[in-house]
Chains A and B, each alone.
Chain A
Amino acid sequence: MAAYRKLEGKSTQLLEKIRENLEQLNAKIDVMIEIQKHGQRAIPEDLPEALDVMTLLSLPDHLRKTAVTLCKLEEATADAVAGQTKRARAVESGYLNQLVVMGYLKKERRGRKAYFFVDKEG
């Protein structure tokens, strides 16, 4: 029984690791799609861009919702943002990564979780 439990624990850990890797892969694909869509020049060289209200107004609706939610939360995981917007976590993860690519957000990995935030200090 103990051996079975140990095996089960290892499987869970393995599945968790696979999930994490898939998420990282997903984020990287999002970045590549964004670069393909807008060209390398679309990515601002003088990072970070200011996520002020005029910028928020200029964003497409789906990204604006994500950006405003993150402004309210100050710092959050894709999960927390999805909890507020009522959209799927994977969708929010994609939008947050797009905003990172566009230079409006910063991303920091802490352990297994990725945190997104507005870089106010620049």
Chain B
Amino acid sequence: MVGKIIAVHSYKGGTGKTSLSVNLAASYARRGKKVCLMDLDFRAPSLHAIFKGQKAEYWLNDYLNGVCEIDKVLVDATKDHGNDGKLMVALANPSTEAIRDMTAKDRKWEMKALGRLLSLRSSLLTDGGLDYIIFDTSPGLQYSSINAIVTADVVLVVTSLDASDINGSQRMTSELYDLFEKKTGILVNKVIADYLSSEKEQKKFDKHIKSIHQLPILATIPCYCEVLRAAGNFIFTEERPDHPFTETLDELAAKVEKF
């Protein structure tokens, strides 16, 4: 069976896309899957800060620029994070110069970048034998994130309970995900514990969220102080395998597998 490409996206920044992408990738690796996590947030790269010390010959920027092939970009993080599976990482260049360069690309370049992203399906999934590619995208309607969405099989939309975030996510559903006929699921992140205090409250909350988004709710993730305290310094689900956050992420991984 050929693997899947998952794009983790959101309307606004700060919703927890990177944290969820990293922990979802780690969850798949724990389940013995071969995963590749890619930083497609070229305006604010962040995976390099989590996978410290992992250095590839080239950045993902170089692959999209046509400078190198994807194998020169991938870092094998299996030794430190692979568990039973395999975890590869493709990092975006965090230098100011690289960010400036990526924001100044023209339409023609973006068209070629889409082609390079689309070809990952054959190079990494079909030929490379990977089970999942996870794109950590930039928020909102930007070229790099839309390229990622067009390439993906599944889009996971991370949303908070902020009114503007909910409104923006709704618009993106009708004006972006639907137009590209993408399988889309909602991840409600940083939910206040009061909403999930009992099974009855949780059901009421889930029904309310479903009525807003009209899409499958794949996970409702409470706001855990421990996760916030980790501050992205380590992969939380690896350090705390018995924490409820890890359990939620493992359930999410299983749902996406069947989605």
Contact = CB atoms under 8 A, between A and B. Distances in A.
B107 A118 contact: no
Given A57-B176, A57-B179, A68-B180, A120 B146 contact: no
B190 to A, nearest CB: 29
A120 B179 contact: no
12 contacts: A52-B110, A52-B143, A53-B114, A53-B143, A53-B146, A53-B150, A54-B107, A57-B146, A74-B115, A74-B119, A120-B108, A120-B112
B115 A50 contact: no
A52 B114 contact: yes
Could you say which interface size class chain B belongs to? 10 to 19
Max chain A C-beta neighbours (<10 A), residue from B110, B114, B143, B150: B114
A114 interface: no
B57 interface: no
A56 B121 CA distance: 20
Contacts, number: 50
Contacts of A72: 118, 121
Contacts of A68: 150, 180
The 3 A-B residue pairs whose C-beta atoms are closest, nearest first, are A50-B107, A53-B146, A52-B111
Given A64-B179, A68-B150, 17 more contacts: A50-B110, A51-B111, A52-B108, A52-B111, A52-B114, A52-B143, A54-B107, A54-B110, A54-B146, A56-B150, A57-B146, A64-B180, A71-B114, A71-B150, A72-B121, A118-B115, A120-B108
Nearest to B108: A50
Main secondary structure of the interface of A (DSSP, over half): helix
A53 B118 contact: no
Contact of B179 (A50, A55, A61): A61
A101 to B, nearest CB: 19
